[in-house]
Structures are given as C-alpha cells and as structure tokens.
Chain A
C-alpha cells in the first residue's frame, strides 16, 4: 500500500528560528514528490521534486529529495509568523494523477 509519512506532526518555534520538516514515502512507480502550504484555506503549491536530487529554492524555503532514503525535507530559514501553516507533502505515481498525501505538519511560529 502506498504511504507517505510526515514528521513531526506538530512543531512550535520562535520567530527567526530555522525549521526542517520531514517526509518519507513508499510509493510504487514513484514519479515525484510535492510540497504544499495550507493556511486557513486551500493548499498552495510550493515545490515539486524528483529523483534527480536537484534542490528547489524559493526565498527562505528550500527542499530536496533523497532517493536512496525515500525521503524529502523542507527547510524554512529565518521563520516568520506568516509561515505558520500546515505543510503537506504528497507522492505522485508515474503515469497518473494519483497523489498520496501525508498527514501534514502543523507549524506554529511564535513572535
């Protein structure tokens, strides 16, 4: 059974800290892994990663996939209160639009 597991489930840090969120996947015919940010509304796309191992960056956010470990990390540096959200990762299956989501990590940034 395809499975995506995120850790931690919840994380509370102070503004300015750096955080690392983890995502491990067991997906047959794996194609890519996606990260999303969900505030009090619909998820918004952050990154798509493949087994190429290329790191993706956007401002203070960065992410990379380790194909040997079947995992990915999402780093956020110099966190701000606006980074507070649920972060979701999902594994995509080759040749299909089937996505398997993890439970999400609830990140809270305190001022």
Chain B
C-alpha cells in the first residue's frame, strides 16, 4: 500500500531536549515536504526537498533542520525545541508529475 508514515504520532517533551520526527514514503517519490498546522494559520511549509541531498527552506524554517540522505526518508529535527513549536506536523511526498501530494498521518507535538 502506497503510504507516508511518520513517527512518533504523539510526543510530549520539554524545552531544549533535541528530538527527531521521522518520515518515510514507499512510493519512490522525489519530492518531500514538512508542514506545521496551527489554528487560524493553516498549513505552513517548513522545509522541502526536491531530491536526495537537495533541501530548501519553506516559510517557517527557523528552529528546524532536515536531511535527505535517502530518497525514502526525510526526518525533521528540532535541535532545541521551544513551546512555540507546539503544533501538528505533517510530512508529505509528491509524485513525479507533481500532481498528487500524499500526506502522512501527522505528529502532534507538545513542548512544555
């Protein structure tokens, strides 16, 4: 089954404790993205990747890092999480025609 998986699905952590949210897709897609979704602000793009070792900033990259060492994986790293990074995070991958974007199930993060 074609899918995008994220782990963990829920995470409660404390300020400053580094964390990684993993994202993996099994569709051999070149393009992958990370978004955060906050009430009243909609979905905002954090980072995206056009291919292995090719990443670029979205609209809200501050406080986040990503890497794309393999085509299937696109982890999101919070080196020093802060409470304003409490949010719902989605990973997505897009097919080569760039017509269909598949979203992962989401990771709900709470930073205390």
- Interface of A toward B, CB cutoff 8 Å: 32, 34, 36, 41-45, 48, 88, 90, 92, 96-104
* A96 contacts B105, C-beta separation under 8 Å: no
Q: How far is the CB of B55 from chain A (nearest CB, A)?
A: 10
Chain A residue, CB-CB nearest to B88: A42
- 14 inter-chain pairs at a CB distance below 8 angstroms, sorted by A residue, are A32-B98, A42-B103, A42-B104, A88-B42, A97-B31, A97-B33, A97-B49, A97-B50, A97-B56, A97-B98, A98-B48, A98-B56, A99-B43, A101-B44
* A103 contacts B50, C-beta separation under 8 Å: no
Residues of A within 8 A of B102 (CB): 45
* B105 contacts A43, C-beta separation under 8 Å: no
Known: A42-B104, A43-B90. A90 touches B31 (CB 8 A): no
CA distance A90 to B58 in the complex (A): 13
Q: How far is the CB of B46 from chain A (nearest CB, A)?
A: 11
* B31 contacts A43, C-beta separation under 8 Å: no
Decide if B101 is an interface residue (CB 8 Å cutoff).
yes
* A90 contacts B50, C-beta separation under 8 Å: no
Query: What band does the interface of chain B fall in when counting residues whose beta carbon is under 8 Å from A?
Result: 20 to 34
* B31 contacts A100, C-beta separation under 8 Å: no
* B43 contacts A96, C-beta separation under 8 Å: no
Known: A42-B106, A43-B90, A45-B102. A100 touches B48 (CB 8 A): no
* A99 contacts B40, C-beta separation under 8 Å: no
Residues of B within 8 A of A98 (CB): 45, 48, 56, 58
Known: A97-B50, A99-B33. A42 touches B90 (CB 8 A): yes
Decide if B12 is an interface residue (CB 8 Å cutoff).
no
A-contacting residues, B28-69, CB 8 Å? 31, 33, 35, 40-45, 48-50, 56, 58-59
Decide if B84 is an interface residue (CB 8 Å cutoff).
no
Chain B residue, CB-CB nearest to A86: B42
Q: How far is the CB of B33 from chain A (nearest CB, A)?
A: 6
The 5 closest A-B pairs by CB, nearest first: A42-B103, A101-B43, A97-B48, A103-B42, A101-B42
CA distance A67 to B40 in the complex (A): 27
